[in-house]
Chains A and B, each alone.
Chain A
Amino acid sequence: MSQKPVSTTETDESSPETDTEEAAATEPEFDIVSNDNPKADAKKFVTGDVKYTADFEYDFQNIAAGKILRSEIAHGYVKDIDTSAAEEMDGVYAVLTPWSEEIPDKRYTSAGQSYMEPSPYDMKALREKVRYVGDPIAAVAAKDEQTADRAIRQIDVEYEELEPLLDFKRAMDEDAPQLFDPDEVENKQPGHDYEHNLETHLEGEIGDVESALEEAEERDDATVIENEYFAQYQSHVLPEPHTTIVYRNEDNRYHVISSTQVPNHVRRMLAQLYEVPIGDIRVTKPALGCGFGGKQTLLLEPVVWALHEATEMPVKIEVSRREEFQAMRFRREASVDLKAAVTDDGEILATDFQTVANSGAYGPHGLTVTSSIGTKPLPMYPHTPNIRFVCDAVHTNKPVPGAQRGYGNPQGSWALESHITDLALAADMDPLEFRKRHHVREGDENKVLGITAGESSSQIIQSCGLEEAIERGREAIGYDDVEQPEDPNKHRAIGVALTRQGSGVAGDELSAAQLKMNEDGTFILQTGAVDIGSGADSAMAKIAAESLGVTPDDIVVESSDTDTTPHDYGTYASSTTYISGNAVKNTAEDIKERIKYWARKMLETPKGNLELKDGKVVNTGTGESVTLEEIGYESIYGEDEREHIMGQGHFSTDISPTPYGVQFVDVTVDDQTGEFEINKLLQAMDVGTAIDPGMAEGQIEGSQMMALEYATQELLTFDEDGNPDVQGYRDYGHPRATDMPEMETILVEPHDPTGPFGAKSVGEVPVNPLPPALGNAIRRAVGVRITDLPITAEKIKAKLDE
């Protein structure tokens, strides 16, 4: 997707190391990774010792609280702002409007992506033209939050209202209001047509879909099925609200403490926006109360920065729960028009997948998410001879979508995996057997990955544990032995869906790390990896510990500080375990060379195989050993030669290994009322080696909850003027502990040859398949196909009554 040149490729395959665990590549045995031991830094979370961004507020004697005034209309111009009453209030330090000198007259994208971002530059920090209910107009800094809150209510805004465009399906109609003047947008993306509210358009084709579908229509032994699917808006529902503190430190440098997934991108983007040297900015990311893509963004930082410039004080903004639900970032709504043909003996002839996604008010992640709606699920079935994918991202006056766990895949999987079951049933085949016949396998050259980018983007699949996942899942859920309830109105069935994702953005990732050895043989690991709550710090400690033959307790992890930790693009696209993990692994291999140098010197063995194990370096030939502590002291305080033993490494690659999985949903449906009960959820997931199995299971279980919410709840709704209905948790269908059905998780761990100790990723892949698996279960139980999310009893009943 990126226009950036592909960076150099490094994989473990090229590693010259022969005297380590590589020898046992077929059946890897690990001491730390893949073992059942707790998250390395778990104790700070259960004691309250952990610090999130908001906790740093108390480090300042005098810090201003900021608040943002947001648009009350969906579309229009701010004609005038009267800030005088707010300015006169006691304890108000600054009031900023779109015309304030601290607000750069410059457009940028909020998408926290690598430079140059594949997202249009279409927004300013505060906005004169407002494009959704929630658009930031003005900002206040005051002595405390209550004062700031009262002050923004004293600001009087005069609007000129314009007709809002709320239905994304009519965004490209001739009579739809035009939302952007093309001159207002820089860094436009491929296929844009702002006169028709089109942010981007992309398409690609393998074979000849139109002819294949036409031929299929003619054949007696083939069926063509067409459906239009719809998936709604979803919130990330981040427990920790977006929070940012900006101040200048004792060296007069800007220090931005922020709840972000992308500290390095934030630093670069702020430097560009405010035209200050990158070196004058330090961004640190404390513990993060969830990201899920919602914090892969430059969101509050520019406003807090401006308030800091205006007040010359430390300033903090912590948004309210209402703002989280109305004015941060979201999963975009989308429709998919899907037409496919299958023969009676189960051959898929062609798939035509056309999607329109709602980019809402602005375009961050519009190109990359919208194209991912097709390019993420479609490569599951790469042997289909004719595949077409067309996507449009259109603007409306609804809230701004961004990145969210799955990144387009949940919308696309909802359509494709529903459709696959209907194709199977049309061919009179079991949907699981049908999938087994068609799904991707290890060794396949997957050309569908490059459908929008030319065949150069194909990838040889180096590990795929789908067969094992399917068989173990099938057995565990009792797929072949479903007992029907006694009540004749109730029907039980098991639905199934497959899923895949990536591990990082192919050709557009970089992570670097550094290891320093202390005198006592413990280590300080400096990694750019960004722990967003999923346990990356722990995973990096475990990877380093496994490499160095020590325990995670011997590794101090310092991460996510742009001053002290090496560069990393940040946590998104399921990149961290694979990309940052490989960087840490390479760093460990690097420092091992220096450790072995000292070991040889101290053991006086110029030759022989050396192994790091249990805090020692052992000569495997003679059995002689020297401890890391002995090496640490000797290297730092030795007589004839001294060295601080350090290692450096980085990782970038043009591939993105695929984690795979299968979802089973066991459901009972009442054919009179449409009501359904989920008896059990099961996912069997090929994540490569699970570095931290407990955390990997947690990702899967949490994903199923997030996906259950997506499958069954209306979530974010709006009135006819574009006002959001959801004000807080109570209006949003967040599952509670008693809402969750029984869940079972099976980890399938094929060793990926390019991953750190064989790891791929797990952060996103499990969020995709539940909605279609539930829809498929209902289809099999009572014979109706729900195409529009959410799946509700009312919709099922309406179809049953047809």
Chain B
Amino acid sequence: MIRYFLVYWGYPSGISMEIQLTINGEQRTVAVEKSESLLDVLRRLGYTGTNKSCDTGSCGMCRVLVDGEPRESCVTPAVQADGFEVETIEGLGTQDDLHPVQAAYVENSAMQCGFCTPGMVMTSVALLRENPDPTEEEVREALDDVLCRCTGYKKNVEAVLDAAERMQGKTLASDGGSKPVDPNTEDL
């Protein structure tokens, strides 16, 4: 994955500015410090589904989608997301109405502690939008940037392949748009 957003603490702290973020389809004006990461901003805004594990962009657990692309939010300065559409795990389905990728993770027992799960799921969603019918090898390649300590990846890979089947036949957002695929495809 290209990490052209990756900038380490390039600004001094304490300098505040306003940015425009579209988070899960909702437009927000947010005051951020220049040194703040997108992850820290998301978390203090209440999007705590995304977790911090390394804070150096090396584990992928904090991945969110920025204009449809998976990004390590811990090393993405919030100011660089100004004007972009951000999708977090909270923007997929709800517990009463899971997105097919979420449903596939649940039914394949593809999580244990769940700490990497948001990063895994968002990466899986991005993959299936680009490649609705991936091979196992392609799934492994896509998940390669997200570390998981619990599962050995087997069930995660199976979950993504299962999700691809669940979503077959549906039109996917190929333009990297902010709307997730229709959660009701689960029924297909």
Contact = CB atoms under 8 A, between A and B. Distances in A.
B52 interface: yes
Interface residues of B, number: 59
B52 A54 contact: yes
A403 B139 CA distance: 34
Contacts of B149: 237-239, 290, 292, 702, 706, 734
B109 interface: yes
A694 B108 contact: yes
Given A42-B111, A47-B94, A290-B149, A701 B154 contact: yes
Contacts of B143: 736-737
B155 A58 contact: no
A701 B154 CA distance: 7
Interface stretch (A432-440, A532-540, A587-595): A532-540
Interface in A488-538: 532-535
B117 A46 contact: yes
B13 A46 contact: no
A48 interface: yes
Interface string A531-569: 011110000000000000000000000000000000000
A52 interface: yes
A241 interface: yes
A607 interface: no
A740 B112 contact: no
A395 to B, nearest CB: 29
B53 A736 contact: no
Contacts of B128: none
Given A321-B54, A737-B153, A535 B112 contact: yes
A698 B150 contact: yes
Contact of A704 (B93, B114, B152): B152
Given A47-B90, A701-B151, A737-B143, A42 B106 contact: yes
Given A44-B95, A47-B49, A701-B155, A736 B107 contact: no
B53 A290 contact: no
B26 interface: no
Contact of B115 (A239, A698, A728): A239
B113 A48 contact: no
A245 B152 CA distance: 31
Contacts of A288: 113
A533 B155 contact: no
A697 B155 contact: yes
Interface in A710-740: 728-730, 734, 736-738, 740
Given A704-B152, A743-B154, A46 B102 contact: yes
A290 B111 contact: no
A52 B112 contact: no
Dominant secondary structure of chain B at its interface with chain A? loop
A289 B51 contact: yes
Candidate in A51, A699, A736 with the most chain B CB atoms within 10 angstroms: A736
Contacts of A55: 43, 48
Contact of B114 (A38, A45, A318): A45
Nearest to A695: B109
A694 B150 contact: no
B54 A740 contact: no
A743 B155 CA distance: 11
B118 A48 contact: yes
B56 A48 contact: no
B101 to A, nearest CB: 8
Contacts of B146: 737
A57 to B, nearest CB: 8
B106 A734 contact: no
B152 A46 contact: no
Given A701-B152, A705-B152, A146 B90 contact: no
B66 interface: no
Interface of A: 38-39, 42-52, 54-55, 58, 146, 237-241, 287-290, 292, 318, 320-321, 532-535, 692, 694-695, 697-699, 701-706, 728-730, 734, 736-738, 740, 743
Given A239-B147, A701-B154, 17 more contacts: A38-B106, A44-B95, A44-B114, A46-B105, A48-B89, A49-B95, A55-B43, A239-B148, A287-B114, A289-B113, A289-B114, A321-B53, A534-B112, A694-B155, A729-B147, A737-B139, A738-B140
15 contacts: A42-B109, A44-B95, A45-B111, A46-B111, A47-B90, A48-B49, A240-B51, A289-B114, A318-B52, A321-B53, A702-B151, A705-B153, A729-B58, A737-B141, A737-B144
